[in-house]
Amino acid sequence: MSKRNKLEKFAEVLSFPNTFENFDHSEPSLLGKDGEPVDLKGKWAADYFQNDHPITLELACGRGEYTLALARNYPNRNFIGVDIKGARIWKGARIALEEGLQNVAFLRTRIEQLNYFFEADEVHEIWITFPDPFPRKSKANRRLTAPNFLKVYRRVLAKDGLVHLKTDADSLYEFSLETLQSDPQVVIQYQDDDIYAKPLAYPELDHKTYYEHMHLEDGKTIKYLRFRIHGSEEEE
């Protein structure tokens, strides 16, 4: 993608009513359509979605394929795709607007800062779809199932909130299993190191991202973890 195209997308996404951005990571403020400041913490369902439906986040959502697929299939839930890359979010946000999906929003921010923009118990479910596995041991704390990220999720998830990981990376899957099994507040509900070798355990696993299609073409197996996080950071 050329620099010009990225700049054009950055400019256009600022005009989208379904996209919110945090530009200064040292200042937890959020900007909405046309750069207007907004405060949605604790009020996403009531103020943005204008309903009381449960909220699901897709983290490192990229183009938002999973966010969009889930939103189409579950109209009585709200979905927010989260990514730091504005040019990626642009595509998913534009498709949501074109399709008139009222239960979709996108948030551009660092995942480490979710608690700045979501209140405790505000999120009911999290999907982590094909994140960067960061295979080097020195970058283990950047893996989205590392203990520091589990603490972030615990701050915003409702009690017994559900988390999904879908990945092609053996190293991330094994790391995640080990990390989750060592956390007394985590209960693994389901684990599978090759979801397509048998009938799917859950229908929502059938949605495929751009990267998943590539992985399958390369002959890689798709792994899945489904787990609940009990309690909250405030209780620790």
Helix/strand/coil (H/E/C) assignment for every residue in the chain: CCHHHHHHHHHHHCCCCCEEECCCCCCCCEECHHHCEECCCCCHHHHHHCCCCCEEEEECCCCCHHHHHHHHHCCCCEEEEEECCHHHHHHHHHHHHHHCCCCEEEEECCHHHHHHHCCCCCEEEEEEECCCCCCCHHHHHHCCCCHHHHHHHHHHEEEEEEEEEEECCHHHHHHHHHHHHCCCCEEEEEEECCHHHCCCCCHHHHCCCHHHHHHHHCCCCCEEEEEEECCCHHHC
Q: Which of 132, 160, 194, 206 is catalytic?
A: 132
94 forms beta bridges with none
Is 194 known to be catalytic?
Answer: no
For the four alpha carbons of 20, 159, 225 and 236, in that order, the dihedral sign comes to positive
CA distance 125 to 118: 13
CA distance 192 to 172: 13
**Contact criterion met (CB below 8 Å) for 148 and 158:** no
Catalytic machinery residues: 132
